[in-house]
Structure 1
Amino acid sequence: MALHRLGKDPESPNGGSPTVYLDTDSGHYLLQGWKVTDPDRLAQLDLPDHETVIEFPRRMVQFFPEVAGEA
């Protein structure tokens, strides 16, 4: 698996997350973000045990090639 970092949150303090990655083998995106732990928010989701949810700011969609006008 080869991960390619597409972009880090320009507004994140200390250059931390969130970050968008592309797995060049599968063509899937990996998102690094803030773990959602609020029980009220989690209760509104249909979340299987083998999945997780992260919070990802809207400003980060600029790093997806489809949004940036790239192939």
Structure 2
Amino acid sequence: MLRKLTGDPACKNGTCPTLWITEAGTGYIVQGRVVDDPEHLAQLGLPAGESAVFVPAEVLEAYFRADR
């Protein structure tokens, strides 16, 4: 089970960039747009089985500003 921590405040359809935490609190899931820019991917040097997503700064900033 995942718990939503924060999402894009400008989201209109409910399927926007979002930060989730696992039920056990052992990790995070980041929902965002797939990074497909060849230059960015080359700089990341991702190993097999990993991918990268872009998340607007507002999503993470909202989480860190929130009272928890």
TM-score bin (small chain): 0.7 to 0.9
Q: Can you give the 5+ residue segments of structure 1 that lack an aligned partner in the other structure?
A: none
Aligned length: 66
Corresponding position: 1:29 with 2:28:
yes
Cα RMSD, aligned residues only: 1.6
Q: So what's the TM-score if we normalise by structure 1?
A: 0.77
Equivalent positions of 1:1-71 (< 5 A) are 2-61=1-60, 62-63=62-63, 67=64, 68-70=66-68
Q: How much identity, in percent, do the aligned residues show?
A: 35
Query: Structure 1, residues 6-59: CA drift from partner, whole Å, max 9, x if none?
Result: 122111342321011110214211010000111111111121111100001111
Q: So what's the TM-score if we normalise by structure 2?
A: 0.80
Structure with the bigger RCO (C-alpha within 8 Å, sep 6+) is 2
Q: Can you give the 5+ residue segments of structure 2 that lack an aligned partner in the other structure?
A: none
